[in-house]
Every structure is written in structure tokens, then in C-alpha cells.
């Protein structure tokens, strides 16, 4: 068996996933992703399995993978770089690893949020220059946090917002009954008198536009789809509260980046922090580069030693299960 491995955090982080993959005896071909369509078209076609990150699996790439490819195992959760309709039509099993990084990404989201509102990157740079210039930031307690998307990560962000004394408004286009129970449980837990100074509150909003004018802080935890690509544009930003802080650890494609840059320059948006841009890696002419009130990290929200091991071992287990014909043991997101 020949396996193409492209995800860099898998390769760069020590852990048992390396031994697990080596124990298969498969031939491993290593590349450094994320790779665009042009690069993928030059690579694929001679592999039985692929362990991928955010590489471009377009219809053309998936077609070239055949007839040899038996499984595409995604290291991680997001599938927006894989054309699932094409994969299904071509009968290529696509696996992912849900439930492995929600706490990790939620922690990073709050790291980005606090970096913005307390001016941590700027103050760090100032002190390292031997200066002592003190800037004034903002508190989170008592403020309103809008959480757009109440999946695993959105839930973890909502919990942490409440623990910090925030009022949380949540919205998701899909709303199972379990979400109502989740909100009720949180209300009960955070009704404890220990939180009396800043009484936390969490409520469901009927729409995104209900949240925008109320949120002091806005957290994006949405899947990227053809329907919501670029939805946070100038018109939508105009509906936000003046001076809003926005954190985006989801996907860069949710944002119209030139519109966000202009909103940051004008002060409409007090700060924007993101772990993602469009495209990735970041282009030299990205309009967000160089803005003082923008904090960017290179898609490291799930890149902790703990999370890498969880994602990597699950993605290898998925790969092996399908290659060995044990489809029921893998998390497969396409019908085959």
C-alpha cells in the first residue's frame, strides 16, 4: 500500500501516531501541505490512501486519484476543501475526525480575543524594545458575546464566555432539540451565586441580524459553504455594533477581507482576530496585513500536542479501517 501524507502538523508533532502509521508497513510519501489544485494534480494518482489536511481536492484532483485511491482520510474536521459531491459520485470514501479539537480551538479563540482587547501583541513588542508604554484595553465581563454556530466548538466558546461573566447570544441555522437542553443546563450551572457580580446569561437569537447590533464581541464558528462564502461583507458589517471586536477561528472564506480591512481602518470594527485567511498560506497582498488592530495566526487553532495526537491517531485509524475493509469502524462522511 502506498499512502500520501500532506498534513504538516501530523508530521511535525511527535507522538504515537507516527508509530501507528509505521506499524502498518505501508509506503509513506510525505509532502508539505496545504497544497493547491495545481500541485495536487502533479502528485496524485499512485496512492491507495491519502492522509490530507486542507489540500484542494477538486473534481479534477479526485478524478486523477482513480482508479487506485481507496480512501481519503482528513486529518481534522473541516471538509470545505474537498468536493464531497464529486467524491461521492466517484465512490471515494472520505473520512474525518469529529470531536477531537473543539476544546483546543475554543481556547485559541479566547486567546485571540484577549490578545485584541488587552493589546497583548502590541504591548509585548513595546516592552521587548525596552520601552514602557501602557495602553488601555477592555474587559470581557458584563459584555455581550455573539456566537455564530453552535456546534462542538461554538458550545465550548459559549461555556467559556459565561465563565468570564459575559452575556451570550447564540445562533445556528440548524437547531436540534439538544441545543435547548444545552442552554438550559448552562443557565442552571451559571445561576450559582459565585457568578453574582457579573450574572452570566445565554439566549438563542432568532437570526444573525438580531445578534449583530447587540454583540460587543462576535465569534464565528460556522462551517464554510457555498451559501455563506463572503457573507460578512460591508453590508453585514454595517449592521454590527460600532466598535465591535470579531474573532474568526473558522474559515477565511466567511469574510470579505477587503471589507473587513476597511472596517478596521475606519473604527467600525475595533479589532479583528483570525486564525484563518483566504487563501492559505497568506498572500503577500492580503489587505489585513499591517493593520494595528488586526491579530492573525497561521491556522494553529487545533495545533496543540494533545489535539494533534487525537486528530492524527483517529485519521490513521480511519485510513487503516477502510483499507482493511472495515468501513463500519471509520468515520465516513460520503455514501459509498
* Cell numbers given for 266: 475606519
- The length of the chain, given as a count of residues: 336
- Alpha carbon distance 80, 99 (integer Å): 17
Residue 72 near residue 94, CB atoms below 8 Å? yes
Given the residues 251, 257, 278, 303, select the one marked as catalytic: 251
Look up 299 and say whether it is catalytic.
yes
- Alpha carbon distance 315, 98 (integer Å): 10
φ and ψ of 222, to 5 deg: -110, 145
Q: Is 276 exposed, middle or buried (0-12, 13-18, 19+ CB in 10 A)?
A: buried
Q: Is 261 exposed, middle or buried (0-12, 13-18, 19+ CB in 10 A)?
A: buried
3-state secondary structure of 295: strand
* Cell numbers given for 278: 483566504
Rounded to the nearest 10°, the torsion over CA 2, 303, 301, 222 is 30
Look up 326 and say whether it is catalytic.
no
Residue 146 near residue 211, CB atoms below 8 Å? yes
Peptide bond just before 34 cis, omega within 30 deg:
yes
Q: Considering all CA atoms of the chain, what is the largest pairwise distance in Å, rounded to the nearest integer?
A: 63
Look up 17 and say whether it is catalytic.
no
Given the residues 37, 107, 280, 306, select the one marked as catalytic: 280
Residue 240 near residue 212, CB atoms below 8 Å? yes
- Alpha carbon distance 146, 80 (integer Å): 24
Angle between helices 152-163 and 102-117 (to 10 degrees): 50
Given the residues 102, 152, 221, 299, select the one marked as catalytic: 299
Residue 126 near residue 147, CB atoms below 8 Å? no
Q: Is 319 exposed, middle or buried (0-12, 13-18, 19+ CB in 10 A)?
A: buried
Catalytic residue set: 251, 280, 299
Amino acid at each position: 500500500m502506498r499512502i500520501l501524507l500532506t498534513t504538516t502538523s501530523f508530521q511535525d508533532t511527535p507522538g504515537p501516531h507516527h508509530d501507528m502509521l509505521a506499524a502498518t508497513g505501508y509506503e509513506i510519501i510525505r509532502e508539505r501541505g496545504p497544497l493547491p489544485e495545481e500541485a495536487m494534480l502533479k502528485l496524485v494518482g499512485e496512492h491507495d490512501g491519502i492522509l490530507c489536511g486542507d489540500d484542494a481536492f477538486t473534481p479534477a484532483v479526485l478524478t486523477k486519484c482513480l482508479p487506485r485511491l481507496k480512501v481519503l482520510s482528513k486529518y481534522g474536521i473541516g471538509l470545505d476543501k474537498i468536493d464531497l459531491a464529486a467524491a461521492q459520485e466517484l465512490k471515494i470514501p472520505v473520512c474525518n475526525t469529529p470531536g477531537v479539537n473543539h476544546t483546543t480551538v475554543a481556547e485559541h479563540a479566547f486567546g485571540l480575543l484577549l490578545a485584541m482587547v488587552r493589546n497583548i501583541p502590541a504591548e509585548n513588542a513595546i516592552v521587548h524594545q525596552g520601552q514602557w508604554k501602557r495602553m488601555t484595553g477592555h474587559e470581557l465581563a458584563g459584555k455581550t458575546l455573539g456566537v455564530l454556530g453552535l456546534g462542538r466548538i461554538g458550545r465550548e466558546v459559549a461555556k467559556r464566555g459565561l465563565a468570564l461573566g459575559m452575556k451570550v447570544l447564540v445562533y445556528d441555522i440548524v437547531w436540534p432539540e439538544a441545543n435547548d437542553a444545552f442552554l438550559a443546563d448552562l443557565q442552571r450551572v451559571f445561576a450559582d451565586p459565585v457568578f453574582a457580580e457579573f450574572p452570566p446569561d445565554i439566549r438563542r437569537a432568532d437570526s444573525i441580524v438580531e445578534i449583530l447590533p447587540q454583540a460587543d464581541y462576535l465569534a464565528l464558528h460556522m462551517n464554510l459553504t457555498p451559501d455563506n462564502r463572503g457573507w460578512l461583507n460591508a453590508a453585514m458589517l454595517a449592521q454590527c455594533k460600532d466598535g465591535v471586536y470579531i474573532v474568526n477561528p473558522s474559515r477565511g472564506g466567511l469574510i470579505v477581507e477587503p471589507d473587513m480591512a476597511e472596517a478596521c481602518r475606519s473604527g467600525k470594527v475595533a479589532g479583528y482576530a483570525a486564525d484563518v485567511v483566504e487563501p492559505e498560506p497568506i498572500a503577500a497582498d492580503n489587505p489585513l496585513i499591517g493593520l494595528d488592530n488586526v491579530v492573525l495566526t497561521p491556522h494553529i487553532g487545533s495545533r496543540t500536542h494533545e489535539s494533534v495526537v487525537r486528530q492524527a491517531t483517529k485519521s490513521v485509524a480511519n485510513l487503516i479501517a477502510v483499507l482493511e475493509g472495515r468501513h463500519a469502524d471509520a468515520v465516513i462522511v460520503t455514501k459509498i
